[in-house]
Structure 1
Amino acid sequence: MRPSLLDPLFAPITSFSGIGPKIAALIARAIGRENADETRAVDLILQPPHRIIDRRNQPGIAHSPEHSIVTLKLHVDRHLPPPRGKSNVPYRVFAHDETDEIALTFFHARQNWLEKALPVGETVLVSGKVEWFNGRASMVHPDHMALEKDAGAFPLVEPVYPLTAGLSPKLLQRAIDSALAVMPDMPEWLDEAFLRKNGFDGFTGAVRRLHDPRDESDISADAPARRRLAYDELLAGQLSLALVRQRIRRLRGKPVRGDGSIRERLQAALPFKLTASQSKAISEILTDMDSSDRMLRLLQGDVGSGKTAVALFAMAACAEAGGQAVLMAPTEILAQQHFATIEALAQKADLTIELLTGRTKGKEREAALSRIASGEARIIVGTHALFQESVNYHDLLLAVVDEQHRFGVHQRLRLTAKGSAPHMLVMTATPIPRTLVLAAFGDMDVSRLTEKPSGRQPIKTVTIELERIGDIVARLRDAISNGRKAYWICPLVEDSELSDLMSAEQRHAYLAAEFGSLADVVHGRMSSAEKDRAMQDFKSGKTRILVATTVIEVGVDVPDASIMVIEHAERFGLAQLHQLRGRVGRGSEASSCILLYKAPLSETARARLSIMRESDDGFRIAEEDLRLRGEGELLGTRQSGTPGFRLVDLQAHGDLLEAARDDARYILQKDAALAGERGQALRNLLYIWRRDEAIRLLQAG
């Protein structure tokens, strides 16, 4: 049960005056909550402003620069309402100060309201943008107006929050003020000495300071209030991961001790020699699984570094020990691809392998479930369908989760509660910097694959301006006549009036005019069957150019595709560009990646493209991506539904992450059930940051 102290913070935002379902939906969108019904007061108080408007600049009318926000002290001279029936003519109020005159302009305004707000003969304060026309100053719809005697209520420094179409700054500010008004005083969950050392306020004080900035330094990542709340967010994350891990450790794993026979047959069947880092990773995994402490290991490796082969050896060891292993992929295309890759090798090693996805239906599904329950199926590949209630395992020893940079860590860790407590291996193709591994996974053991398998050709990367597209088409014509295949990636699915980006459908039409039926298209809006057909035609060589959106970034293995064209490359992040580039260079042919960009480039885009040209080291690229874009983008949190950070900036708060990890460890050593005084306060912290799933684990014992 959530402590009653927190009830005001978990009031729905529709309980505040003036916020109905429509406004609530706009606020939810603006602050990054997916569901308006689940948006609470706590989400508003944890929404940081991203800049300030400083209304302290009072230069006088004559000295007000064009388009700048100023505050003016004015004497109101006269009102000029529009003629009757002319609602398209604005209402004007004329005023002056000692330097000049100004017209305050209002559209569709109510006369009685304006006469009360700006009485003739009174001195008033107004703030807004000044425009100059033919030497005369005007201000359209001032942001704030107040009589001189009410100047105390006039906001001279104003926080600015992210907005969405249809939501006014005033409405959002009013909602945030309502949430702040109901915020209770919290018992302190941070150590007294730590607070003093860092100059941190209490939680309530820090929240109030966050929303009441006095100057630019108050909204920087280094501001004490921001750092205090960022630390809370990191501690909530580290503590919940540590609780999940504690729970996993408490469920004893089964030691996996195979005799090596299946692995020997696999080794003989492999068409390549394992790299040194693959061998090292296999050894680390087997050592972990040889214990009754459950393995929880992250296998990081660039696209094409051979993660699946490593996982296969781990799964083979489980089969040798008489048990089963599952390999779970995020999409059906990827699950089918893993199955195709593994099946050929598994047959040579006498390993029974099963595919189970949402598409496995009827008798075929019943037969598969029966083989899984009896233990006949040793390795089971599939999507999240692997963990539905109807699936029973004979003896599940290992769960391999291919995350492809879509982390739903808590859900994945929960899934291992099925049946016995299997060991767990999480594979990711995003080379994540260490700080991000810590933030997303807690203190997980990590194996890294740093080499490409032998025989892989380097990929030549070039940047070309979009205007030279004719040259690219000519080069493609030569390449295709020599039997080669190419991907062409576009950022959008269909044409949009709002964007000058080339859509996949538009580019496909252009290329089909040049190459006829050799050009095809695949994108996320197509049905699974249509996508499969397009991929199959490309794989078989029936088509030679595949125009695609980034759906091909995750999975899709066509070894003889050797050209990758990425249109509007300046619009993609580094990690994404690197992932896409990794789709070629998988066969024995030399491959190339052409980054088409539209000039002029921003500084960040130029830096990104030059890193892509210089390096194919995924780990260096990931570090640069973190520096240029921030962690939310790199983890793909927007797409994955994982909560990205709200107040943490890992570039600025990396030192706090280490401290939060150490603090979480210390807390659980001292009070594993969070039952003491500090433990109870920390439960509030977990609720506030929506990490209460970890509390339910505690209650489940």
Structure 2
Amino acid sequence: MNASAVPPASSAPRRGSGGSGTGRSGAAGAAWTKSDDKAVQALTAGERRAALGTGSPLEAKLSSVLGGRTAGPLQKAFAITTVGDMLAHYPRRYARRGELTALNELPLNETVTIVAEIRTVTERPMRQRRGSILEVSISDGRGILSLTFFNQSWRSRELRPGLRGIFTGKVTEYRSALQLAHPDYKLFDDLDLLELDGSVSEKAKKWAEAPIPIYPATGTMSSWQIQAAMALVLEAALPVGDPVPAAVRKARGLVDFSTALQGIHQPQRDSDFMKARDSLKFQEAFVLQTALLQQRQAAHAQKAVARVAKPGGYLERFDRALAFTLTGDQSLVGSEITADLAKAEPMNRLVQGEVGSGKTLVALRAMLAVADSGGQSALLAPTEVLAAQHLRSIVRVLGPDLSAELMPTLHTGQLPIAVRRKALLRMVSGQSKIVIGTHALLSDTVQFYDLGLVVVDEQHRFGVEQREALRLKGAQPPHVLVLTATPIPRTVAMTVFGDLDISTITELPAGRQGISTFVVPLAEKPGWAGRIWQRTAEELAKGRQAFFVCPAIEPSVAEPADDLEPGEPDARQLATVTAVLAEARANPALAGARIEPLHGRMSSEEKDQTMQAFAAGEIDVLVATTVIEVGVDVPNASTMVVMDADRFGVSQLHQLRGRVGRGGVPGLCLLVTHAELETLARERVDAVASTLDGFELAQIDLELRREGDVLGSTQSGGRSSLRLLRVVADGDLIGEAREAAAEVLQGDPGLAEHPELRDALARRLDETDRAFLAKS
């Protein structure tokens, strides 16, 4: 495609290439008419290629091909700055010439691209001021849409009934009818594709068969403007080197990178973009897995102090005193950790396990092995409630003798100054071999005598920077053990935690009772609300205790779920701790019950006192926010009532449910929701009620949620850094790519013989991403 394929905004339709027009003379049209951009775009392909410089064309500035005023809107809308960024802006789908896209399902207030046929063109004067309105009616055979142009009568010469075209703009509503005001468009002129004798030309056949790429677009840059710009970029940039070695491509029947780029942006038939997608998807997985495996190599190349338990030492004494036998999974994972700690390279292991499967016990045994070698361990917990509970449970399970020798120490931000100073002294002197704390452990004032192990509890609650800050407090790289009770699907583990060794605990300790989960659907069954209180009272009558969890403290102070979809509407007033507390205390069914609140606005001392009283059986019902989500262990608590359960994510609901059924009494979980059937919010609640299998729920959660950025600090929600790869659907492909990447790195660890792959890694991973991988 040459420069003439990018016409000025005011040009008439060009016969033979399909007519085009743009909306009002705004950014979209201006981007193609500025003199500097026209000069750049008028260069020959060879001249544009030379303008890219001597390095990789993928690293060149996009403005060198398109001009600054054209490249600017692309950077603003899509963060596209280089030729490589532009070529990775793949079409979101493909249309066909003559395809009539449904108009009766268009989303209001969104920019759309549609294919339709012009039905009528009318012009009328404006009532309130001088000028005219041109109204064009288009249809797909099922719906009608109006195009509106102000003071642009000349467009009636372009927009004629019977012509088909591609139209883009923001869908708005005027007098109960949908319309596009001043849309951009491009018309398909079939007459130019006929031979002189009236027969259909070969050119026409190819033109009719070729899929039309539909790009993610904005109000300032339409899909076909991006298509036209892409043609210029392809012409200048291709061919490019392929990061996937030829042998790997051949073994999988993949096309090379240049062919794939041509096929996905300028397909002549469906098979072109299908082959291109397969090849580009594998390349994306291959480059990502190579980066993770390289980081794994780098981590293993570091030096650490080997930590081995002594005969007759802390760990052996602890194991002898245990009143129960470890589960098979606990023993297996413990052996894996013991082997890691014994190496002179840092352990980087993720232990995932069901709620209540004994991950903390496994971590404690690792801490004792480190203490045997003279080292210290730091356990980073997400909340003060959980940190304080960890301290109490560790002291209890160690017993008085080991506790006195190891001196477990708590360090949180709300401790009294005198207590905090004592804790800091114990840490820096090495007197405390086990330190438990919150984010306060990351403070510059915290120093260790010999930090040998970092344990991060509930890793999803911490950012990469926080984990790294604690790791750097070791004189030498400490061993790192990451715990999560949020099971991770295999594909996510390979993609996000591919540089970590992963252990899994699925076996629950003997004696655990089951948990029965029920949805209380108040949208369909409002009369069931009273049964919530009656059922709770029945459990209290048996001498048991209950949690009520609310998504907010009071109407203006919310503690939102971490894993809700962004932008989900809050259609009704949420249940709050203050309202539910008042309702519970006033309910006759709970007369005489001791009911208290627990939430994040209470002081550290108040929260700790409340949790201790609840654990001691001095409180019957705890009305709380998600501060009790993780780690809280009260064996006598049998009932969990989650109010407005649809306001929580799948993993949070599974975590909350895991707070009951931890002792010898069966658990009951009531998920109270106003969400209606067949909504995404209700699907989440129903999914949790359908199974106790956290790994199954993790997969469901992944399928219900958008994939987050698998590299960089935005690991959940928001826009994914993945282009074509999808961790839900492409698990097998990711596994194959990892195997191929491992083979390449085994034969060429430094990638000296694979410069294209080395360059691709440099482009794929900017400094932020590399820092993320180094800290993971």
Counterpart of 2:155, as a letter, is A
Q: Structure 1 pair 147/344, CA: closer, same or farther in 2 (3 Å)?
A: closer
Q: Structure 1 pair 16/285, CA: closer, same or farther in 2 (3 Å)?
A: same
Map 1:1-400 onto structure 2 (within 5 A).
Answer: 7-8=59-60, 17=69, 27=77, 46=88, 50-51=92-93, 56-57=98-99, 71-73=116-118, 76=121, 78-85=122-129, 91-93=133-135, 104=146, 106=148, 109-111=149-151, 114-119=152-157, 125=164, 141=181, 143-146=183-186, 157=212, 159=214, 161=216, 168=219, 170=221, 184=237, 186-203=240-257, 206=260, 209-210=263-264, 223-257=274-308, 258-267=310-319, 270=322, 272-346=324-398, 347-349=400-402, 350-359=405-414, 364-386=419-441, 390-400=445-455
Equivalent pair of 1:159/1:213 in contact (CA under 8 Å): no
Q: Structure 1 pair 604/228, CA: closer, same or farther in 2 (3 Å)?
A: farther
Q: Structure 1 pair 348/190, CA: closer, same or farther in 2 (3 Å)?
A: same
Say which of 641, 648, 654 aligns to 2:725. 648
Equivalent pair of 1:409/1:441 in contact (CA under 8 Å): no
How many residues align? The count is 658
Equivalent pair of 2:348/2:500 in contact (CA under 8 Å): yes
**Counterparts of 2:304 and 2:371, CA distance in 1:** 16
**TM-score calculated relative to the size of structure 2:** 0.70
Say which of 730, 740, 745 aligns to 1:668. 745
Counterpart of 2:365, as a letter, is F
**Counterparts of 2:762 and 2:223, CA distance in 1:** 23
Secondary structure of 1:584's aligned partner: coil
Secondary structure of 1:650's aligned partner: coil
Structure 2's unaligned 5+ residue stretches are: 1-54, 107-113, 172-176, 193-206, 559-567, 587-592
**Counterparts of 1:481 and 1:515, CA distance in 2:** 16
Give the C-alpha shift of residue 403 in structure 1. Answer: 3.5
Secondary structure of 1:664's aligned partner: helix
Secondary structure of 2:335's aligned partner: helix
Task: Name the counterpart of 1:515.
Answer: 585
Q: Structure 1 pair 203/463, CA: closer, same or farther in 2 (3 Å)?
A: same
Give the C-alpha shift of residue 381 in structure 1. Answer: 2.0
Task: Name the counterpart of 2:589.
Answer: none
**TM-score calculated relative to the size of structure 1:** 0.76
Q: Say whether residues 1:471 and 2:531 are aligned partners.
A: yes
Q: Structure 1 pair 472/55, CA: closer, same or farther in 2 (3 Å)?
A: farther
**Counterparts of 1:454 and 1:243, CA distance in 2:** 41
Give the C-alpha shift of residue 53 in structure 1. Answer: 6.0
Secondary structure of 1:504's aligned partner: coil
Give the C-alpha shift of residue 192 in structure 1. Answer: 0.9
Task: Name the counterpart of 1:578.
Answer: 654
Secondary structure of 1:292's aligned partner: coil
Q: Say whether residues 1:683 and 2:753 are aligned partners.
A: no
Note the alpha carbon deviations across 1:447-483, whole angstroms, 9 max, x for none. 3322222332211122332222222123224444655
Counterpart of 1:192, as a letter, is A
Counterpart of 2:451, as a letter, is L
Give the C-alpha shift of residue 318 in structure 1. Answer: 1.4
Note the alpha carbon deviations across 1:542-593, whole angstroms, 9 max, x for none. 7654455545433433443321223454665543332221121123332101
Secondary structure of 2:749's aligned partner: coil
Q: Say whether residues 1:441 and 2:497 are aligned partners.
A: yes
Counterpart of 1:310, as a letter, is V
**Counterparts of 2:571 and 2:741, CA distance in 1:** 48
Equivalent pair of 1:522/1:549 in contact (CA under 8 Å): yes
Q: Structure 1 pair 600/74, CA: closer, same or farther in 2 (3 Å)?
A: closer
Give the C-alpha shift of residue 434 in structure 1. Answer: 3.1
**Counterparts of 1:656 and 1:573, CA distance in 2:** 28
Moved more, 600-609 or 307-316: 600-609
Task: Name the counterpart of 1:32.
Answer: none
**Counterparts of 2:698 and 2:388, CA distance in 1:** 28
Note the alpha carbon deviations across 1:593-648, whole angstroms, 9 max, x for none. 12334575339878766664554233344345455657659999655899764432
**Counterparts of 2:532 and 2:270, CA distance in 1:** 47
Q: Structure 1 pair 643/127, CA: closer, same or farther in 2 (3 Å)?
A: closer
Identity percentage of aligned residues: 36
Equivalent pair of 1:538/1:544 in contact (CA under 8 Å): yes
**Counterparts of 2:772 and 2:581, CA distance in 1:** 55
Equivalent pair of 1:522/1:547 in contact (CA under 8 Å): yes
**Counterparts of 2:442 and 2:138, CA distance in 1:** 73
Higher relative contact order (CA 8 A, sep 6+): 1
Note the alpha carbon deviations across 1:238-261, whole angstroms, 9 max, x for none. 223222222222223322222243
Note the alpha carbon deviations across 1:128-162, whole angstroms, 9 max, x for none. 69x9xxxxx9965475445676999999845364x
Equivalent pair of 1:128/1:139 in contact (CA under 8 Å): no
Q: Structure 1 pair 39/72, CA: closer, same or farther in 2 (3 Å)?
A: same
Equivalent pair of 1:329/1:403 in contact (CA under 8 Å): yes
Give the C-alpha shift of residue 115 in structure 1. Answer: 1.3
**Counterparts of 2:230 and 2:383, CA distance in 1:** 40
Q: Which has the larger radius of gyration?
A: 2
Q: RMSD over aligned Cα, in angstroms?
A: 5.1
**Counterparts of 1:255 and 1:121, CA distance in 2:** 77
